[in-house]
A and B are shown apart, each in its own frame.
Chain A
Amino acid sequence: MDVEPILKVTNLTKKFGNLVAVNRASFEVNHGEIVGLIGPNGAGKTTLFNAISGLYRPEEGTIFFKGMNITNWLPHKICKLGMSRTFQVTRAFTHMTVEDTVRVGAYNRFNEKNVQDKVDQVIKVCDLVDIRKRVCEDLGLASLRKVELARALATEPVMLLLDEAGAGLNATELAAFMDLIKKLNQESQITFCVVEHVMQMVMGLCQQIVVLDSGEIIASGTPNQISNNVRVIEAYLGKRAVHARNQ
């Protein structure tokens, strides 16, 4: 079965003045996969996400999504094509209610006549029924993360980028979040690419892991392969840890 990857990033480079944040990064994501993007702080993961989702313009490289070259596309066009994302620091619509927030996303595919059904559906799936009328600025972190996910989900994406969506959640919240992602992945066939520090989430969810360090992709493979990869350990814990391990 030869199917094109849903996302194909080739030699992506993003510079800020003289600082090279992402250096010739290449990786692929297949339909229906959950791919994890990990790496030490400052490795360039969010920059990579921003470049893919259209918020940054890369200096070099190409991004192919669903077979189309979206490298210089504006974010809203990319969303129309089927990719949406959440943000590392939740960027809620502070003064809007949960329901209205989701509605904004739902308008991506629906119009005034049938948008309400979609809104109701997403609110149910993301377990936001109790707080649907509450204003975002009154919500706690876990709820805000759900809202971020919900509004991105409402755009009916075929691929979702989650940027550190698991950060700051306690064990119960994390488990629920992971279940939700699994469900969306299996039932709605949504492909996921998640930037994560929470290893439990990465190891538990991802079929493929891509490791970024100082702007470069240093490894990619299954969770098992990655956890045994010398370069990865080096990146996280330094050369001495590898040395100690080999003793």
Chain B
Amino acid sequence: MNVKNIFNPRNILILIGVGIALAIPLMFNASQYVMLLMTTVLLYAILASAWNIIGGMAGQLDLAAAAYLGLGAFTTGTLLIRWNITPWVGMFLGGLVATALAMLIGFPLFGFKVKELWYALSSSALVVVLQSLFMMWNEVGGPTEKYLPIGTSPWYSLRFNNYMPYYYIMLIILVVVLLVNRWIRYSKLGYSLMALGEDEDAVEVLGVNSQSSKLKALAIYAFICGVVGGIFASIYGYVHPAFFDTSMSMEITILGIVGGMGFIYGPALAAIIMVSFREILRASLGSQLAGLYLAVYAIILIVVALYQPRGIAPLVERGLKKAQTYFVELTRGRRADIKSH
């Protein structure tokens, strides 16, 4: 292992990124607003990275992230409220519930080879339907918020009075999700998904069971969304059918797309940039006309989608390659200097 190879631009960037991410709470913990912002950014980064598995890799335009998130939230919340089950367990169960629904919906949909568009539409409709259902289901949902109790131990009920613990939990989950992304991407499933996203019939004659591959991707994605839903409920302190938010689902999908479909870090990067930007916009413009910041944000999204459709990640890759060559030149020049003496 050449020690020099480790110190390449990509790894340095990762190191810096991790360093900043870890340091943020320590620097900004005074401002709860900034902490909430950072936690929200992480939330979207996780969801967009999870979406990458079904969207970026498997090529299925899923718009149901909020459905799985909401289910996870309600599972966790209800378990805590009614039976005092800790969200640490509730999250996991929430993930399972979300996965169960995903399989229920996905199995027939994938089996009948529903085309891109219709999958997008029906997954989008799923969110709306769940919202209606939970609005009507008064015991668990209903029109008013169901608040989560704080209980005796904040770590048990996952209800803290500042955002720092949530931030770190989310950070850990983000790292895990990115690693999951990486593991899948270079595994048999990953290659099958990428190929399947290109041409489903061609991949079948190569021995790939496209339906089961898609279902696996869907399951992993839904599970992650469900787990995150549990934390989501904990952060907000309540559950409400508004969690089934189509706009949020769509935003996550767009982040996944403009991040660079299939690239491991792409969606997370897009989330970090765009969501930060959005919240900064909200802070400066939000107090004025409600909706203005959303309008600006939407315009930015459209512009990125139109002019950089392959996403931000390819740009980053190009930049890294240039930096790499420059780096190599630099070190080579050095060695040449040393030799000539």
Q: Mark A88-124, 1 if CB is under 8 A from B, else 0.
A: 0001111110001101110111011001000000000
Partner among A55, A93, A109 whose Cβ is within 8 Å of the Cβ of B205: A55
Are B204 and A75 closer than 8 Å at their CB atoms? yes
- Distance in angstroms between the alpha carbons of A223 and B210 in the assembled complex: 39
- Distance in angstroms between the alpha carbons of A172 and B25 in the assembled complex: 66
Are B191 and A75 closer than 8 Å at their CB atoms? no
Are A91 and B199 closer than 8 Å at their CB atoms? yes
**Which residues of A have CB within 8 Å of B202?**
87, 91, 93
Are B207 and A111 closer than 8 Å at their CB atoms? no
Are A152 and B188 closer than 8 Å at their CB atoms? no
- Distance in angstroms between the alpha carbons of A100 and B191 in the assembled complex: 7
How many chain A residues have a CB neighbour from B under 8 Å?
Answer: 33
State how many angstroms separate the Cβ of A63 from the closest Cβ of chain B. 15
**Which residues of B have CB within 8 Å of A85?**
205
- Distance in angstroms between the alpha carbons of A54 and B203 in the assembled complex: 12
- Distance in angstroms between the alpha carbons of A117 and B232 in the assembled complex: 45
B198 close to A (CB within 8 Å): yes
**Which residues of B have CB within 8 Å of A108?**
206-208
Are B206 and A155 closer than 8 Å at their CB atoms? yes
A183 close to B (CB within 8 Å): no
Q: Which stretch of A36-44, A76-84, A210-218 is in the interface? A: A76-84
B209 close to A (CB within 8 Å): yes
- Distance in angstroms between the alpha carbons of A76 and B214 in the assembled complex: 14
With CB as the reference atom, state the residue of chain A lying closest to B191. A104
State how many angstroms separate the Cβ of B133 from the closest Cβ of chain A. 35
Are B194 and A93 closer than 8 Å at their CB atoms? yes
Are B198 and A93 closer than 8 Å at their CB atoms? yes
Are B195 and A101 closer than 8 Å at their CB atoms? yes
With CB as the reference atom, state the residue of chain B lying closest to A109. B207
**Which residues of B have CB within 8 Å of A74?**
204, 209
A151 close to B (CB within 8 Å): yes
Known contacts A93-B195, A93-B198, A111-B188; is-contact A104 B203 (Cβ 8 Å): yes
B145 close to A (CB within 8 Å): no
Are A84 and B206 closer than 8 Å at their CB atoms? yes
B187 close to A (CB within 8 Å): yes
B116 close to A (CB within 8 Å): no
- Distance in angstroms between the alpha carbons of A87 and B204 in the assembled complex: 12
Which residues, 178 to 228 on B, are CB-close (under 8 Å) to A?
186-188, 191-192, 194-195, 198-199, 201-210
State how many angstroms separate the Cβ of B190 from the closest Cβ of chain A. 10
**Which residues of B have CB within 8 Å of A84?**
205-207
**Which residues of B have CB within 8 Å of A103?**
191
Are A76 and B204 closer than 8 Å at their CB atoms? yes
Known contacts A80-B207, A108-B207; is-contact A75 B201 (Cβ 8 Å): yes
Q: Mark B98-131, 1 if CB is under 8 A from A, else 0.
A: 0000000000000000000000000000000000
A47 close to B (CB within 8 Å): no
Partner among B192, B194, B198, B206 whose Cβ is within 8 Å of the Cβ of A152: B206
With CB as the reference atom, state the residue of chain B lying closest to A136. B198
**Which residues of A have CB within 8 Å of B210?**
76
A53 close to B (CB within 8 Å): yes
Q: Mark B133-174, 1 if CB is under 8 A from A, else 0.
A: 000000000000000000000000000000000000000000
- Distance in angstroms between the alpha carbons of A107 and B207 in the assembled complex: 8
**Which residues of A have CB within 8 Å of B206?**
76, 79, 84, 104-105, 108, 151-152, 154-155
State how many angstroms separate the Cβ of B167 from the closest Cβ of chain A. 35
Known contacts A87-B202, A111-B188, A112-B188; is-contact A96 B207 (Cβ 8 Å): no
Known contacts A112-B187, A112-B188; is-contact A104 B195 (Cβ 8 Å): yes
3 nearest interchain CB pairs?
Answer: A108-B207, A79-B207, A75-B204
Give 22 CB contacts A-B under 8 Å. Answer: A54-B204, A55-B201, A74-B204, A76-B209, A79-B204, A79-B205, A84-B205, A87-B202, A92-B198, A93-B194, A94-B198, A100-B191, A101-B195, A104-B194, A104-B203, A104-B206, A105-B207, A107-B192, A109-B207, A111-B188, A112-B186, A151-B206
Knowing that A55-B205, A84-B205, A112-B187 are A-B contacts, what are 11 other residue pairs whose CB atoms are under 8 Å apart, sorted by A's residue number? A55-B204, A76-B210, A79-B206, A87-B202, A93-B202, A103-B191, A105-B206, A105-B207, A115-B188, A152-B205, A155-B207
Which A residues are within 8 Å of any B CB, using their own CB?
A: 53-55, 74-76, 78-80, 84-85, 87, 91-96, 100-101, 103-105, 107-109, 111-112, 115, 151-152, 154-155
